[in-house]
Amino acid sequence: MSSEPKHRRISRELMAELASGKFAPSGRLPSESQLVTRYGVSRPTVARALRDLQDQGLIERRVGSGSFVTSRSAAVPQGIRHLGLLIPGLGTFEFFEAVCGELAGLARIHEYGLFWGGGSLAGAQVNASIQSTEDICDQFVRRQVSGVFFAPAELTSDAENLNRRVTDRLRKEGIAVVLLDRDVTPFPARSEFDLVGVDNLAGGFALADHLLKLGSRRLGFAARPHAASTVAGRIAGAREAIIRHGLPVPQNFVLSGDPHDRALIRELTGKNKPDALLCANDHFAAELLQALAREGVQVPRDLRVVGFDDVRYATLLSVPLTTIHQPCREIAATAFKAMLDRIADPALAPRSLVLSPRLVVRESCGAYLPGRADR
């Protein structure tokens, strides 16, 4: 379970909203009562979070009026250096929200202005979202940002082309690029851009190795179509664990589909069903747990399930989720340092800055089932 204090989480999320300009033009933040309701915490916890933001000079608290964005936070002074955040699907993935919140704080500390941009690439608005991603890139160019943190798009067949168009445009304009979490090229190839993220190969290996030690013998890996290159790394790591245990990799090891698609559920409950399932990320695993419950499949008794990311709700699911923890704060700090290095010396060789994953064991993997001793 994450050890992050509640007040720290609240201040981090509010900091991200400050950076995105959410409270413009009035500059007024929600009241303490509204924040208590929003986060389900006590008033002292909210007060502590607001005090943290006040100590950083981001807000001012006016007796009888509330909390307001400071002039320093609300407007970027003329001549200040700027960075951009380009995160398609930002509102969908909690992992990126956490990383971007940390980056916003680091930008303030280093006296950089930060422009925020993102959009969803799933569902019926795919084409419009692709266009908005390129539009945001154009805005960054017009604003002459020094660098852009870019999390390449996924979940659409045109994602690779989109990612290349964006990075080629930024490079042509002389704008530094640091990739977050994933590359613009399919795994295991590497592009010419700096990349900061967790070791996905090691993470996939750790999850599969854990399940195999618990006694699972037929693993499966489930992901949505056109998933990011990070998922391919996790799949490769899981395959290696199976081979190391002297087992054959199942012919239908990789299962591609939507967690609410009954065809996928049939594969998970049919004749050649897996006895344990690795999910591309916690979001996929959470939706899958709901779908399995509707079909009467009990996790972990009937099927062991694990995720990847260790987002906040992983502990709040009907069956708490075994997963891989991504160190968001460390990823953000490493990415920001990489950006400063890249701006200072554009001729640096491209770097892969990989952080170590950490296995978090909870109930969904079956580790705590009666009579299921760890092998």
SS3 of residue 318 by DSSP? coil
pLDDT at 118: 55
Structure confidence at residue 91 (pLDDT): 57
Crossing angle, helix 6-19 and helix 94-109, to 10 degrees? 70
Give the pLDDT band (50/70/90) at residue 123. very low
Helices (H) and strands (E) counted in the chain, each on its own, are 12, 14
Q: Give whole-number Cα distances, 324 to 59, 201, 274, in Å.
A: 35, 12, 20
pLDDT at 76: 44
Dmax (CA) of the chain: 68
Q: What is the mean pLDDT of the chain?
A: 87
Predicted confidence at residue 3, as pLDDT, reads 55
Q: pLDDT > 70: what percent of the chain?
A: 87
Q: Which CATH architecture has domain 200-326+359-365?
A: 3-Layer(aba) Sandwich (3.40)
Q: Check residue 165 and give its pLDDT.
A: 95
* Res 125: pLDDT: 35
Please determine, for residue 128, whether its predicted confidence score (pLDDT) is greater than 50.
no
Q: What is the assigned CATH class of domain 6-74?
A: mainly alpha
pLDDT band at 110 (very low <50, low <70, confident <90, very high): confident
What stretch(es) of the chain map to CATH 3.40.50.2300?
81-198+327-355, 200-326+359-365
Average pLDDT over residues 137-151: 93
Least confident of 43-47, 65-69, 91-95, 283-287: 91-95
Whether residue 270 is predicted with pLDDT greater than 90 in this model: the reply is: no
Coil, helix or strand at residue 368: coil
Residue 199 reports pLDDT greater than 80: yes
User: Which residues fall within 8 angstroms of residue 35, CB to CB, at 6 or more apart?
Assistant: 10, 29, 46, 49, 50
For residue range 304-356, list pLDDT tens digits in order. 999 999 988 788 888 999 999 999 999 999 999 999 999 999 999 999 999 99
* More confident call, 270 vs 206: 206
Q: Which CATH architecture has domain 81-198+327-355?
A: 3-Layer(aba) Sandwich (3.40)
**β-sheet bridge partners, residue 117:** 86
What per-residue confidence (pLDDT) applies to 219? Answer: 98
Residue 20: predicted pLDDT: 58
Name which of 70-74, 217-221, 222-226 the model is least confident about: 70-74
The residue-averaged pLDDT of 154-166 equals: 91
The more confident residue out of 280 and 20 is 280
pLDDT for 2 beyond 80: no
- Mean predicted confidence (pLDDT) in 163-169: 96
Determine what percent of the chain is predicted with pLDDT higher than 90: 59
Q: SS3 string of 21-79?
A: CCCCCCCECCCHHHHHHHHCCCHHHHHHHHHHHHHCCCEEEECCCEEEECHHHHCCCCC
Lowest mean pLDDT among 49-58, 131-140, 179-188, 334-343: 49-58
The model's confidence at residue 1, banded by pLDDT at 50, 70 and 90, is: very low
Q: How far apart are CA 286 and CA 277, in angstroms?
A: 13
* CA 89-358-121 angle, 5° bins: 10
pLDDT at 120 exceeding the cut of 60: no
